[in-house]
Amino acid sequence: MSTESFPTRTVKCPGCCGPSAYAPHNPYRPFCSARCKNNDFGAWASERYAVAAKPEPEDDPEEQAPGARH
């Protein structure tokens, strides 16, 4: 029952898949460092931006041409 005296847990860093200290002294948890945290956030933000910035096909005039088959 001495394991409770170690609040620091080691988790897998989502950024580099390396060991990361999941503890109050690590402000970047679950990442191991600010670099990994920023890197992951940047990728996530850019991916989200790409999805949000997709073109709208409803604006295509050829899609609703009334006399195309007349």
The residue ranges that bind Zn ion (CB under 5 A) are 13, 15-16, 32, 36
φ, ψ dihedrals at 3, nearest 5°: -70, -20
Closest to Zn ion by CB, 45 or 65: 45
Least Å distance, CB 29 to Zn ion, is: 11
- Are 13 and 19 in contact by the 8 Å Cβ rule? The answer is yes
Least Å distance, CB 18 to Zn ion, is: 5
Nearest-angstrom CA–CA distance, 55 and 20 = 39
Closest to Zn ion by CB, 16 or 21: 16
